[in-house]
Amino acid sequence: MTAMPAEDFEAAYEALAMAIDSTGPEREALFLTRLALVLGHELGDIAVFRSAIRTALEGVAE
């Protein structure tokens, strides 16, 4: 996998923040889950997707 250029990564950060705001608090979990599924599908690699889940869970899971 290639890393995103810093400028693009920043644009992704901004687009995500604004998308969360547009869903409202009740629907944001649904939106973020849908986003993860869309990204996982586009990624097309279950091993990488599982690794991404582990990275994102770190420090968050109880």
Q: Which residues here bind another protein, judged by CB under 8 A?
A: 3-4, 6, 9-10, 13-14, 16-22, 25, 28, 55-56, 58-60
Q: Tell me how far apart the terminal alpha carbons of the chain are, to the nearest angstrom.
A: 29
Helices (H), the chain: 6-23, 25-43, 46-57
Q: Which is nearer to another protein, 9 or 38 (CB)?
A: 9
CB of 61 to another protein, least distance (A): 12
Smallest distance, Å, CB 44 to another protein? Answer: 21
